[in-house]
């Protein structure tokens, strides 16, 4: 059985807490009505909606708190009874904290005057307890079964409000995602023509005769079509990262692109978004960057790393020996893709840097 400390610091629990987007946000009427009603319903001077983080509890809503606490809206766990509600995932009933073996030494008793306490869990549909809805008295308080039931019902109202907000956010995200994909389709068609044009230009520059030029163009455009087919094949459950990179860069390979990294399996959806990112980097490099000049080169590497018990593939893109680079003067599709879409869809951080010696990019992909 996990210890209280392990439960509080659970990666999954903390992720569920942060997913609510409620930490360190202002008070809101929807939650303030619940805590205000709880004080009147239970005859307690204080009620809190407490979200328990790994080293503190944050009061998303509070009724009856003294001024010095209502302004900071949090305490460390040394002053928290709610942490025990989270650790046990069940109500904590304390009639007199000075006599209760679990909390009698908690600093909230001596320093904040917490004597009577009733806390019930705030639990997500997937079983993650993110905090507690509690009532507090500065004197001994006998809590009834009806009190526990009423507080549990109020906690259910709180979690229904949080679930509703999550559903609205998902719907908004889905609508934005759909609009983005329509825009991506239009953009990708335009970019594909630009890429074909660049393939022809590269082939002309590196071919000795018309026959070799025609063969090179056919092979490179065929490889470009294969990339589209690779990420669109819904019969595949996974796609190899190395295969995706190879297919993306093969149409342009003429001695100035290198790629290296371990074998990594990606879901088809992840591969689609990664292909979009690579396609954007390649297109821009061909138009403006290292691949626009014969002496330019691009290095693509990737490796595996573990962070907070989660595994990521990290892909690095580096350009060198190209034209001088400067920051973009306008916010184009690439900026939207890297700043708002890729990180969210790949569940990792994505960045681009426009250093003078060449563009670089880092794409984290959660596996």
Domain range summary for the chain, segments of one domain joined by +: 4-168, 207-366
Which position has the higher pLDDT, 60 or 252? 60
Q: Are strands 358-366 and 310-320 parallel, antiparallel or unpaired?
A: antiparallel
CA–CA distance, 13 with 130 (Å, rounded to integer): 7
Q: Is the pLDDT of residue 366 over 50?
A: yes
Compute the average pLDDT of residues 241-247: 82
Predicted confidence band of residue 90 (pLDDT cuts 50, 70, 90): very high
CATH topology assigned to domain 4-168: Beta-Lactamase (3.30.450)
Flag the least confident range among 110-114, 212-216, 309-313. Answer: 212-216
Q: Residues 6 or more apart from 358 whose CB is under 8 A from it? A: 289, 290, 296, 318, 319, 320, 321, 322, 325
Mean per-residue pLDDT, 162-180? 81
The average pLDDT across 74-101 equals 96
**Nearest-angstrom CA–CA distance, 203 and 217:** 6
- For 99, 185, 188, the CA distances from 334, given in Å and listed in that order, are 62, 14, 11
Instruction: Say yes or no to pLDDT of 44 above 60.
Output: yes
Task: In whole angstroms, give the CA distance from residue 84 to residue 123.
Answer: 14
Instruction: Give the CA count within 13 Å in the CB-facing half-sphere of 269.
Output: 9
Q: What is the DSSP letter of 21?
A: T
So what's the pLDDT on residue 109? 95
pLDDT > 90: percent of the chain: 39
Q: For the packed helices 268-287 and 241-249, what is the interaxial angle rounded to 10 degrees?
A: 30
Which two structure tokens, joined as six digits, stand for 152?
Answer: 């549990």
Q: How many other CB atoms are found less than 10 A from the CB of residue 276?
A: 21
pLDDT the model gives residue 133: 97
Beta strands in 95-157 (DSSP E): 116-123, 129-137
pLDDT bracket for residue 43 (50, 70, 90): very high
Flag whether pLDDT at 5 surpasses 50. yes
274 sits in which H/E element: helix 268-287
**What is residue 335's predicted lDDT score, i.e. its pLDDT?**
63
Cα–Cα distance for residue pair 130/109, rounded to 1 Å = 23
237's CB contacts (< 8 A; 6+ apart) are: 267, 268
Helix (H) or strand (E) holding 75: strand 74-76
- Highest-confidence range of 130-144, 179-193, 215-229, 263-277, by mean pLDDT? 130-144
- pLDDT exceeds 50 at position 288: yes
In whole angstroms, give the CA distance from residue 174 to residue 183. 14
Q: What is the pLDDT of residue 119?
A: 97
If one compares 196 and 346, the residue with the highest pLDDT of the two is 346
Percent of all residues in the chain with a pLDDT value above 70, rounded to a whole number: 77
Is residue 70 within 8 Å of residue 64, measured between CB atoms?
Answer: no
Range with the poorest average pLDDT among 195-199, 279-283, 289-293: 195-199
Dist CA 162 CA 133 (whole Å): 13
* Reported confidence tier of residue 195, pLDDT bands at 50, 70, 90: low
DSSP-derived 3-state class of residue 162: helix
Pairing between β-strand 297-307 and β-strand 257-260 as defined by DSSP bridges:
parallel
Element (H, E) at 188: helix 145-206
| Nearest alpha carbon to residue 89 among 199, 10, 172 | 10
Cα separation, 224 vs 191, in Å, equals 12
Question: Does position 184 have pLDDT exceeding 70, yes or no?
Answer: no
Ramachandran angles phi, psi of 15, nearest 5°? -65, -40
Look up the CATH number of domain 207-366: 3.30.565.10
Average pLDDT (46-50) is 96
Q: Tell the residue number behind the tokens 């210890």, with chain if given.
A: 3
Lowest mean pLDDT among 11-25, 153-167, 180-194, 273-287: 180-194
CA distance to 138, 163, 175, 177, 260, per residue, from 170 (Å): 42, 10, 9, 10, 36
Highest mean pLDDT among 155-159, 183-187, 291-295: 155-159
Residue 167 DSSP symbol: H
């Amino acid at each position: 059985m996990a210890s209280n400390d392990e439960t509080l610091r659970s990666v999954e629990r903390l992720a569920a807490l942060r997913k609510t987007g409620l930490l360190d946000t202002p008070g809101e009427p929807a939650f303030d009505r619940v805590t205000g009603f709880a004080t009147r319903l239970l005859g307690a001077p204080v009620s809190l909606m407490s979200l328990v983080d790994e080293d503190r509890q944050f009061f998303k809503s509070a009724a009856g708190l003294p001024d010095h606490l209502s302004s900071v809206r949090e305490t460390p766990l040394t002053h928290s009874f709610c942490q025990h509600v989270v650790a046990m995932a069940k109500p904590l009933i304390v009639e007199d904290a000075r006599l209760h073996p679990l909390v009698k030494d908690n600093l909230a008793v001596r320093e904040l005057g917490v004597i009577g306490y009733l806390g019930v869990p705030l639990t997500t549909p997937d079983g993650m307890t993110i905090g507690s809805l509690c009532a507090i008295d500065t004197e001994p308080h006998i809590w009834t079964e009806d009190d526990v039931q009423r507080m549990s019902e109020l906690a259910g109202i709180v979690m229904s409000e949080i679930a509703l907000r999550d559903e609205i956010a998902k719907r908004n995200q889905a609508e934005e995602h759909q609009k983005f994909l329509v825009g991506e389709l239009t953009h990708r068609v335009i970019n594909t023509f630009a890429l074909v044009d660049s393939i022809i230009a590269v082939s002309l520059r590196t071919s000795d005769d018309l026959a070799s030029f025609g063969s090179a163009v056919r092979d490179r455009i065929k490889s470009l079509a294969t990339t589209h087919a690779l990420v669109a094949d819904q019969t595949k459950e996974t796609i190899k990262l190395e295969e995706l990179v190879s297919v993306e860069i093969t149409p342009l390979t003429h001695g100035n692109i290198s790629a290296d990294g371990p074998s990594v399996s990606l879901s088809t959806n992840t591969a689609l978004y990664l292909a979009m990112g690579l396609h954007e980097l390649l297109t821009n490099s061909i138009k403006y960057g290292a691949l626009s000049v014969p002496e330019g080169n691009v290095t693509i590497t990737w490796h595996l790393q573990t962070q907070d018990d989660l595994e990521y593939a990290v892909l690095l893109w580096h350009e060198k020996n190209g034209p001088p680079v400067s920051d973009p003067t306008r916010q184009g599709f690439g900026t939207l893709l890297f700043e708002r879409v890729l990180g969210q869809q790949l569940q990792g951080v994505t960045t681009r840097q426009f250093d003078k010696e060449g563009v670089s990019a880092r794409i984290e992909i959660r596996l």
